[in-house]
Amino acid sequence: MAHTYEEIKNKTVAQLREMAQGMEHDALRGYSTMHKDELVHAMCVALGLEEHVHHEVVGIDKRKVKAQIRALKVERNAALEARDKKRLKSVRRRLRALRRKIKKATV
């Protein structure tokens, strides 16, 4: 039975210890006294799983948005040096909107 990181992370300590009981691996030695974070790490090592979930951006062109953000950062710095509050405010709002756009598209 193949496990995923999310499955292991969402189990209770008792369930993890029960799973570890049937497995033979050096990382699981002393499983009965481990705390949950240690146990999750050991289970991932024993099962050969990555310990984090990879997120991907869906529905937008992330490279294009990142390029826009870099251009706006240059514009923001110019507005700061020119002490143009009106332009600075609009640039910061557009930067925030683009960052949120990427965040919302992340799955």
Q: What is the DSSP letter of 57?
A: B
What domain range is 29 assigned to? 5-47
Beta carbons within 8 Å of 57's beta carbon, 6+ residues apart? 102, 105, 106, 107
Q: Are residues 66 and 101 in the same domain?
A: yes
pTM over 0.85: no
Q: Is 54 inside a domain boundary?
A: no
Q: Is 57 inside a domain boundary?
A: no
Number of domains in the chain: 2
Letter string b/e over residues 93-102, b meaning 16 or more CB atoms within 10 A of that residue's CB = eebeebeebe
- pLDDT tens-place values along the chain, 107 residues long: 678 888 999 999 999 999 999 889 999 999 999 999 999 999 999 999 888 877 899 999 999 999 999 999 999 999 999 999 999 999 999 999 999 999 999 98
Q: Are 43 and 36 in contact (CB under 8 A)?
A: no
Q: Is 55 inside a domain boundary?
A: no
Q: Are residues 11 and 42 in the same domain?
A: yes
